[in-house]
């Protein structure tokens, strides 16, 4: 056995001996070449590799080689193979001779022709598969899409922007889908990408509604739609990114190093901003836009804590002066106007009712319905009205403010919230009046009707006059009130489980037992 490596010239045309040895214990692959029949001691190539996943108990063994762009021909005169131990030595005398040059060129030509045909066939197959996939993934353009103004993004672009819609960038989720934070590849602008849920039966309807509605709206207090995307079952909307998230999180989540308590000044600014945006929808745009889902979670805050109304998935458009059509009752528990169960019509007045609930929510730091609260505090508007009628309006202010608020503004917001929450639609102010009240351009009325009944309270003395109930015994009245409150509390817990299927049930119950 030779003890040194030998110089091997692959272009010489001489016969070359090759040994390929693999040690399955040491996981070492050795390749040894020699121009003679004597095996050198030192391999030409030693490579550590574990072939156990590849080598099977029963398998075929063959040869494969490549010279890149160069053309060459190689011949194997003979070979031997053994699984364990040394392979049998070849009998060089019995090996065949080289074929004639003519035959060699013919074989090479056939091989090259076959290889070329194979390559062409593979390319044709790959091109066909690419075209089929492209056609399959292509977005179908429907008639309504031709009139949509906002930019249409490609699905690939939004997938890159959200890094594959990863949970780490999930901003929130609801009945209609999930919202992700993303960065557009070209502009590097941060956006919020809303992915409509495939399980939502109304998914396409909300998708078209938002594009048709918010896509053409332009107001500083409305979330701006940047664009959209539709690919087969995937429906996506792209909005401006709101770094401070939704209003409900700042109102109800525990303060952290990155999330602070909203001051009264900030809250009042947010209220006026949302009111301005809602006025634009009702009266200042070319059509009337009924939002139908005004609530704290749909008020988003930019870097300067400006309130912007978003989520137009339930919105409906009407011509000015037209009568809204009857639809199914939609919305969120605690924000639904009582008349919706009778008429099924979303109107500007039902939006005002929901805005009234939002006003009280912001001022009090409490949700419209608190199932875990005391019976008399279960329904926010009823509790606020009771405190108002007792002349203790400041008792309802969010304790997180620690007494730091403008008293006149608090009285204004609470009183306006009660006015907007009146069960009679014609007793609620329009959004134009609401904005003028908030801006101090219009004086609030001195008397205030109770939200659920015809009761009048004079603002100066805060005395309550209830002519229709003066004959009731006070103790009996209190017992009935507590009983109704407990019934209502039990009902709310049960209704919270079936709200999606029967959204009007709560409204019917509310109209019966509201004080």
Task: Extract the annotated binding site for ATP.
Answer: 194
* Secondary-structure breakdown of the chain: helix, strand, coil percentages, each rounded to the nearest 5: 40, 15, 45
Q: ∠ CA(284), CA(289), CA(292), 5° rounding?
A: 135
Q: In 10 A of CB 94, how many CB atoms?
A: 8
Q: Which residue bears the tokens 């926010």?
A: 380
Q: Of how many residues is the chain composed?
A: 515
503-510 contacts at long range (C-beta below 8 A, 24 or more positions apart): 503/329, 503/330, 503/331, 503/333, 503/336, 504/329, 504/340, 504/341, 506/333, 506/336, 507/329, 507/336, 507/337, 507/338, 507/340, 507/341, 508/341, 510/338, 510/379
| Catalytic annotation, residues | 293
Distances (CA, A) of 194 to 159, 236, 244, 271, 315: 12, 5, 17, 25, 16
d(CA 379, CA 353): 15
d(CA 53, CA 392): 79
d(CA 157, CA 245): 24
- Dump the DSSP string for 111-156: HHHHHHHHHHHHHHHHHHHHHHHHHHHPPP--GGGGG--SEEPPHH
Contact criterion met (CB below 8 Å) for 332 and 351: no
Query: For residue 274, what are its two tokens?
Result: 């949302």
Distances (CA, A) of 488 to 19, 350, 369, 379: 89, 22, 11, 9
Name the phi and psi angles at 381, rounded to 5.
-65, -35
Query: For residue 145, what are its two tokens?
Result: 């899409």
Query: For residue 299, what are its two tokens?
Result: 């008020």
d(CA 235, CA 148): 15
Contact criterion met (CB below 8 Å) for 178 and 195: yes
d(CA 355, CA 246): 16
The 3-state DSSP class for residue 214 equals: helix
- Specify burial of residue 375 (Cβ count, 10 A radius: 0-12, 13-18, 19+): middle
Instruction: Point out the annotated binding site.
Output: 194
Q: Which residue bears the tokens 């169960």?
A: 341
Q: Which residues, other chains included, contact 99 with Cβ-Cβ below 8 Å and sequence gap of 6+?
A: 75, 107
């Amino acid at each position: 056995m030779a003890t040194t490596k030998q110089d091997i010239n692959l272009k010489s045309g001489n016969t070359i001996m090759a040994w390929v040895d693999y040690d399955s214990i040491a996981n070492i692959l050795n390749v040894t070449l020699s121009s003679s029949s004597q095996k050198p001691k030192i391999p030409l190539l030693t490579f550590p590799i574990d072939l156990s996943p590849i080598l099977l108990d029963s398998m075929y063994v063959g040869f494969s080689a490549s010279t890149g762009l160069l053309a060459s021909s190689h011949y194997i005169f003979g070979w031997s193979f053994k699984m364990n131990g040394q392979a049998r030595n070849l009998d060089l005398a019995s090996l065949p001779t080289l074929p004639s040059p003519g035959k060699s060129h013919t074989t090479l030509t056939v091989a090259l022709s076959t290889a070329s045909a194979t390559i062409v066939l593979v390319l044709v197959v790959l091109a066909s598969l690419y075209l089929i996939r492209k056609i399959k993934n292509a977005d179908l353009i429907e008639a309504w899409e031709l009139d949509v103004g906002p930019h249409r993004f490609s699905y690939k672009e939004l997938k890159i922007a959200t890094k594959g819609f990863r949970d780490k960038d999930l901003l929130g989720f609801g009945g209609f889908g999930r919202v992700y934070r993303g960065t557009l590849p070209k502009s590097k602008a941060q956006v919020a990408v809303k992915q409509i849920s495939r399980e939502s039966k109304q998914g396409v309807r909300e998708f078209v509604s938002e594009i048709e509605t918010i896509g053409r709206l332009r107001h500083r207090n409305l979330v701006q739609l940047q664009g959209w995307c539709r690919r087969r079952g995937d429906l996506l909307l792209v909005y401006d990114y709101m770094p401070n998230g939704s209003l409900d999180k700042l109102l109800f989540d525990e303060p952290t190093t990155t999330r602070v308590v909203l001051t009264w000044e900030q809250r009042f600014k947010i209220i006026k901003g949302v009111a301005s945006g809602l006025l634009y929808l009702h009266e200042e745009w070319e059509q009337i836009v009924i939002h139908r889902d005004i609530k704290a979670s749909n008020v988003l805050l930019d870097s300067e804590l400006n309130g912007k109304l978003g989520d137009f998935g339930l919105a409906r458009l009407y011509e000015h002066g037209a009568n809204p059509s009857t639809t199914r009752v939609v919305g969120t528990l605690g924000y639904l106007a009582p008349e919706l169960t009778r008429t099924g019509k979303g109107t500007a007045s039902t939006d005002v009712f929901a805005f009234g609930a939002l006003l009280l929510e912001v001022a009090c730091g409490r949700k419209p319905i608190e199932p875990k609260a005391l019976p008399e505090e279960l329904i926010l508007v009823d509790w606020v009205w009771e405190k108002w009628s007792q002349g203790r309006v400041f008792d309802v202010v969010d304790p997180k403010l620690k007494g730091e608020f403008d008293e006149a503004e608090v009285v204004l917001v609470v009183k306006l919230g009660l006015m907007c929450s009146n069960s009679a639609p014609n007793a609620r102010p329009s959004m134009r009046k609401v904005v003028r009240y908030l801006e101090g351009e219009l004086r609030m009325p001195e008397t205030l009707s109770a939200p659920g009944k015809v009761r009048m309270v004079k603002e100066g003395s805060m005395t309550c006059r209830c002519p229709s109930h003066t004959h009731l015994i006070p103790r009996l009245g209190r017992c009935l009130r507590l009983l109704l409150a407990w019934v209502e509390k039990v009902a709310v817990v049960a209704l919270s489980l079936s709200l999606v299927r029967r959204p009007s049930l709560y409204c019917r119950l509310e109209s019966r037992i509201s004080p």
